[in-house]
Homo-oligomer: A and B are copies of this chain.
Amino acid sequence: MEAVKAELNKTPRSLSKQARRKQLIEATIKCIADKGLSGTTMADVTQQAGLSLGIVNLHFQSKEKLLIETLSYISDEYTSGLNEIFNDDNLTAEQKILAHINFDFSRKIIDRNKLAVWFAFWGETKSRPTYLSICASYISEIANNLTHLFALLKQQGGYSTVNPDLVCTCYTALSDGLWLDLLITPKGLKPAQAQAVAMHYLATQFPNHFKSHTGH
């Protein structure tokens, strides 16, 4: 405790700055979910954060930079969660895939505010390549890791007809589509059901490793 506090005191300003930035980013997420990307004003964000109007420009210089930092924030959260799984040497390929699918549909990720932010930015991607460039690198990194896991499972399980690249593309697209479903029809599909759908697909490819539990 004392040590932590002492460490905190080492750089009080910069730490406090980080905390304030995070506070503003989280207010931004809430605002984008509530009012949309176009409907979110500086007044909205600062009010949501309980701070004064000028604070965003003080910490982020401009609204555009705040939005970019917000996208980076949720991207990083997602990527680092997955990397923890990929880099865990105690897990088998099968366990890593299971952990991946659990993570993809966990409470932390399936938060409708955050889903709204994801899709708000996807919708602007074509007109603002910056948004895409933030995600492009992590997207291909995840795809590589996932493809590798599918290739391992193919080898270990003797699934001679499986095409790891194809399965990765299909699983990823399926996962994105289920996220969209969860965002737009909250009453229709529950996270657990969405996960079951994804699992059902994996079961078609690796029947000895994964079972679909949606029979009736």
- Which residues of A are interface residues toward B (Cβ below 8 A)? 32-39, 112, 116, 119-128, 132, 135-136, 139, 161, 163, 166, 169-170, 172-178, 180-181, 183-185, 189, 194, 197, 200-201, 204-205, 214-216
Contacts and interface: CB of A to CB of B under 8 A. Distances in A.
Most buried by B among A34, A119, A123: A123
B116 A119 contact: no
A127 B214 contact: no
A125 B174 contact: no
A177 B172 contact: yes
Contacts of A204: 201, 204-205
Contacts of A177: 172-178, 180
Nearest to A128: B36
Contact of A189 (B34, B119, B169, B200): B169
A200 B166 contact: yes
A87 B205 CA distance: 34
Contact of A173 (B125, B127, B174, B215): B174
Given A166-B214, A197-B173, A123 B126 contact: no
Contacts of A174: 170, 173-174, 177
A146 to B, nearest CB: 14
